[in-house]
Structure 1
């Protein structure tokens, strides 16, 4: 911290699924910490408008803010979009991160950036932070390149790898977990209509992780840095309940108390290749007393209490 001023955190990408959860969690420290949020879309009066592809704007924002720490939650995280537009994926997941890292290093600011379990090929779980990456798709490759750009430019910074995320959403499609809900409900109503049962992937094992829990992890990591116990290099955090999308759909149907008609798809059908099981080992953070896990059934019941108040698209 500079000259006795409050610990300043720049939260880049505060309007997305994870960014909103982090913003809400850090707001609890607002009296002790100064939180400066940025948003490209879905911003509000408390957010600075910032397109992280505008490198000059990023540098100007950071120089004006002079943060002690930077949390980067902005990214292109949709595998199919990355596969079809690798230039966009690289601009958001690699080039922007390199600019942030370069400017942060000159300012003496710590950077915590989000990455993904998709840096692995899913053949030998659970994965430790130093296991050899082998991404199967453009999304995983772009995030791996982003990790390397960040740590190569700013070795004292930190990567936090995360799996499938879900949490409070602005529409059901925002998370690959909640996006299943409209189809589940429609399948339950198909007895007297032409609607077909909902086919759900039962091939890939996932570890859905609640964004408010990740936000607690991030706050704990920031607290470590604020007191001089900086965490550097690669870290990982994951939920610990394995389930396929078919399993997730069955749980959602139970919470909604609907008689969903679900079909298990036991072979991969995605046009973009996805790994089968990328379970991330979270022991490094756990050993530091960092972490929180909310049981899936508890969290999803809380989220679905809003159904059908949110739009489906």
Structure 2
């Protein structure tokens, strides 16, 4: 029996990963959450070193996937202590505890470790983060590699997937503004969308599939170590994402492109991640954006979506 612990299983990526791993008949999955614990999720505050140690000792997983993090750039910028506690210190604590049990640890990182000036970025490219979020995740990568030999970092770009809340992803968070701009009222203005930063939206079920393939290698005794990356391959700005969302929702949205950066927290221009290290191992899956986003929208509980829904 191969046992996997998913840390942060209630989040956007964590839920997709648990769904993917549940299909493995001979695997055991134990899930943790902080605020959204329940019958299927163990309550765990990863900032509590003693609680982490007790959890690892009790569950004795063969592999640990750290999907918990503070991923909101503005929050990280305004509260660097929180960002460090979740993105750096907790990673070190989890890795140390797992290392004592001989578990393989996979920690999720971000394309924001790069400044976005010279894409595409290989896994061994020199990081140069522009904001506190990117810096904290880079420090988290180092915390893992310095703490445990049997570990791996998986860098990912902008994620979207089955969601319980529009705000869970920077992709679906655009929907309310798109819907509002489609109003027939003459008082409603067009929605302004960023047309400067280039992103590579990546479907969480595809990432979960990739992680499952990585876990299979660990189960066979062929653990991947160091740094790997996975990314969707369709470049688009938020303005272009919004156009495709409007098409999927069958809304006549009024959208205005914003060609200069306006975020208070600096964001990189183009952090396209090179996925060749995983591809060379035969690992990977990419669902076309238009196909995937329709799956996401079809599953959203529209009754709670502020009246937004397919025409």
The TM-score range, normalised by the shorter chain, is over 0.9
Give the corresponding residue for 2:28. 34
Give, in whole Å, the separation in 1 of the partners of 2:80 and 2:39.
32
In structure 2, which of residues 79, 85, 99 is the aligned counterpart of residue 105 of structure 1? 99
Give, in whole Å, the separation in 1 of the partners of 2:126 and 2:189.
42
Secondary structure class of the residue paired with 1:70: strand
In structure 2, which of residues 252, 267, 270 is the aligned counterpart of residue 274 of structure 1? 267
Q: Does 1:218 align with 2:206?
A: no
Shift of 1:155: 2.3
Shift of 1:305: 2.1
Give the corresponding residue for 2:17. 22
Shift of 1:43: 2.4
Alignment deviations for residues 264-284 of structure 1 (CA, whole Å, 9 cap, x no partner): 000000000000000000000
In structure 2, which of residues 141, 146, 152 is the aligned counterpart of residue 147 of structure 1? 141
Alignment deviations for residues 91-112 of structure 1 (CA, whole Å, 9 cap, x no partner): 0000000011111111111000
Unaligned residue ranges in structure 1 (runs of 5+): 1-5
Give, in whole Å, the separation in 1 of the partners of 2:113 and 2:303.
35
The answer to whether the Cα contact below 8 Å between 2:103 and 2:150 also exists between their aligned partners in 1 is: no
Give the corresponding residue for 1:46. 40
Give, in whole Å, the separation in 2 of the partners of 1:135 and 1:310.
37
In structure 1, which of residues 207, 225, 242 is the aligned counterpart of residue 235 of structure 2? 242
Q: With structure 2 as the length reference, what TM-score do the two structures score? A: 0.96
Give, in whole Å, the separation in 1 of the partners of 2:289 and 2:306.
21
Root-mean-square deviation (Å): 1.2
Give the corresponding residue for 1:94. 88
Runs of 4+ in 1 over 4 A off after TM superposition: none
In terms of mean alpha carbon deviation, does 251-260 or 212-221 score higher? 251-260
Secondary structure class of the residue paired with 2:108: strand
Give, in whole Å, the separation in 1 of the partners of 2:148 and 2:23.
29
Q: Does 1:299 align with 2:292?
A: yes
Give the corresponding residue for 2:172. 178
Give the corresponding residue for 2:128. 134
Give the corresponding residue for 2:255. 262
In structure 2, which of residues 189, 196, 200 is the aligned counterpart of residue 207 of structure 1? 200
In structure 2, which of residues 217, 226, 230 is the aligned counterpart of residue 233 of structure 1? 226
The 5-angstrom pairing of residues 109-124 of structure 1 reads: 109-124=103-118
Give, in whole Å, the separation in 1 of the partners of 2:160 and 2:306.
15
Unaligned residue ranges in structure 2 (runs of 5+): none
Shift of 1:147: 0.1
Shift of 1:193: 4.1
Give, in whole Å, the separation in 2 of the partners of 1:53 and 1:311.
33
Give the corresponding residue for 1:3. none
Alignment deviations for residues 28-73 of structure 1 (CA, whole Å, 9 cap, x no partner): 01x3111111011222201100011111101100011111100000
The answer to whether the Cα contact below 8 Å between 2:77 and 2:133 also exists between their aligned partners in 1 is: yes
The answer to whether the Cα contact below 8 Å between 1:172 and 1:310 also exists between their aligned partners in 2 is: no
Shift of 1:312: 5.1
Give, in whole Å, the separation in 1 of the partners of 2:99 and 2:234.
37
**Count, aligned residues:** 306
Give, in whole Å, the separation in 2 of the partners of 1:264 and 1:310.
29
